[in-house]
Amino acid sequence: MNYIFKDESALYYECGYSSDNAILIKAGSEIFFITDGRYALEAKTTIKNAQIIIANDILKGVSELLKNSHLKKIYFDPQEWSLHAYQILSRNSDTTFLPIKNLSQKRRIIKSKEEQALLAKAVSLGAKAFDRFAKKLEKNIGKDERFLTDIAKKVLSKKGKYALSFDPIVALNANAANPHAKPSKERLKKNDLLLFDAGLKYKRYCSDRTRMAYIDDAVDFNLKQKIKDKKVQKVYDIVRKAHDRAIEKARCGMKASQIDALARDVIEKSGYGKYFVHSTGHGVGLDIHEMPFISSKSDIIIEDGMVFTIEPGIYLENEFGIRIEDMVVMKNSKAVIL
């Protein structure tokens, strides 16, 4: 298959290097990496499996390459390209551009053993950061979510050593009822319920994890949480049961929608179905959200080597929200927590 990529994760996956102004083309047995002079040295010393072309105008450089290669057709992901760039390339060559949505993600959906090891390392580093953040919470009673979020970023990155998978979510009580909560002026108090959703990158591979913490004398993000409020405890236990069941029962050969149903059925039978407002999970790799998507609408067949999250949640407006999330890899037909 001949293809063209512009997305940085796609570039990195294909040749081990990316820049914010580059295009990669696979034409037959040859791979070409086209970028500008700012990245020439890095590209030449890093890329081993592609011919490097330096161009002041990379769209013009790509157009000339396509003309000279006499390619009849090339595949591309329409989500990567602006209309402007597509028009320039398609008008200035005789090559037919054929769209395939999520083309790079489909190529990356099965993680190699090396990729699985990198993801496991990212998850391990992230889990240790959760433990460090729990200790910080014990010392910062009275601080607001914005302050706590700033601490979380420093803890996760280990003062700049690691990039973050995304901006962490630190949400207290009612704010946690927003699945993508933004930090507020809410201040941390004893007997609060705190949601922490965060991850870091290890060699560009992402981690993603969500835990709840009941704020008492000692704070932790263990799965077992003892909460004084009986309603909160009940809802927490329902979410945990949904999380555990989906991981325990997931099998290769299932559709992604069937794994979504494993978690969703638990919550629906408890009477909270309408408060589970998102899909059960998503793939994780070079991107924090990639295939496979574990949703009620997904017909993707689950296979060994796929890595994705299981993250059921219940969100009660003006009260509280609860989500529990782990990353799993499909191994020997079963889901194994990374």
Convert the pLDDT of each residue in 232-249 to its tens digit. Answer: 999 999 999 999 999 999
Higher pLDDT, 67 or 47: 47
- Give percent above pLDDT 90 in the chain: 96
Q: Are 231 and 316 in contact (CB under 8 A)?
A: no
The pLDDT mean for the chain works out to 97
Residue 137 has pLDDT above 80, yes or no: yes
pLDDT digits (tens, 9 = 90+) for 177-200: 999 999 999 999 999 999 999 999
Which residue, of 56, 77, 108, is where some domain finishes?
Answer: 108
Which residue, of 92, 108, 124, is where some domain finishes?
Answer: 108
CA terminus-to-terminus distance, the chain = 33
- Answer yes or no: do 129 and 142 share one domain: yes
Pairing relation of β-strands 193-198 and 30-35? unpaired
pLDDT digits (tens, 9 = 90+) for 33-64: 999 999 999 999 999 999 999 999 999 999 99
Q: Are 300 and 281 in contact (CB under 8 A)?
A: no
- Answer yes or no: do 76 and 137 share one domain: no
- Answer yes or no: do 222 and 127 share one domain: yes
CA distance 51 to 122: 31
Residue 18 has pLDDT above 90, yes or no: yes
Residue 81 has pLDDT above 80, yes or no: yes
CA distance 232 to 119: 32
- Answer yes or no: do 235 and 214 share one domain: yes
- Other beta carbons less than 10 A from residue 78's beta carbon: 13
What one-letter code names the amino acid at 15? C
Alpha helices in the chain (DSSP H): 8-15, 40-46, 58-69, 83-91, 103-108, 113-138, 145-157, 230-249, 256-269
What one-letter code names the amino acid at 12? Y
- Answer yes or no: do 299 and 261 share one domain: yes
Q: Are 145 and 175 in contact (CB under 8 A)?
A: yes
Cα–Cα nearest to 250, from 205, 198, 312: 312
CA distance 149 to 136: 11
- Answer yes or no: do 118 and 73 share one domain: no
CA distance 9 to 6: 9
Higher pLDDT, 23 or 68: 23
Which residue, of 60, 90, 108, is where some domain finishes?
Answer: 108
Alpha-carbon separation of residue 235 from 107, 158, 274, 276, 280 (angstroms)? 39, 33, 13, 12, 17
Residue 149 has pLDDT above 90, yes or no: yes
Name residue, tokens 């296979």: 303
Q: What total number of domains does the chain contain?
A: 2
- Answer yes or no: do 227 and 289 share one domain: yes
- Answer yes or no: do 50 and 7 share one domain: yes
CA distance 20 to 332: 38
Question: Span 99-110, mean pLDDT?
Answer: 98
Residue 4 has pLDDT above 80, yes or no: yes
pLDDT digits (tens, 9 = 90+) for 119-130: 999 999 999 999
- Answer yes or no: do 159 and 45 share one domain: no
Q: Residue 259: which CATH number?
A: 3.90.230.10
pLDDT digits (tens, 9 = 90+) for 278-310: 999 999 999 999 999 999 999 999 999 999 999
pLDDT for 91 equals 86
Q: Are 136 and 151 in contact (CB under 8 A)?
A: yes
- Answer yes or no: do 81 and 197 share one domain: no
Token pair in block for residue 261: 């149903």
- Answer yes or no: do 194 and 274 share one domain: yes
pLDDT for 70 equals 86
Distance, CA of 143 to chain centre: 29
pLDDT for 165 equals 98
Residue 92 has pLDDT above 80, yes or no: no
- Answer yes or no: do 52 and 136 share one domain: no
Q: Residue 9: which CATH number?
A: 3.40.350.10
Residue 94 has pLDDT above 90, yes or no: no
Find the domain containing 101 and state its range: 3-108
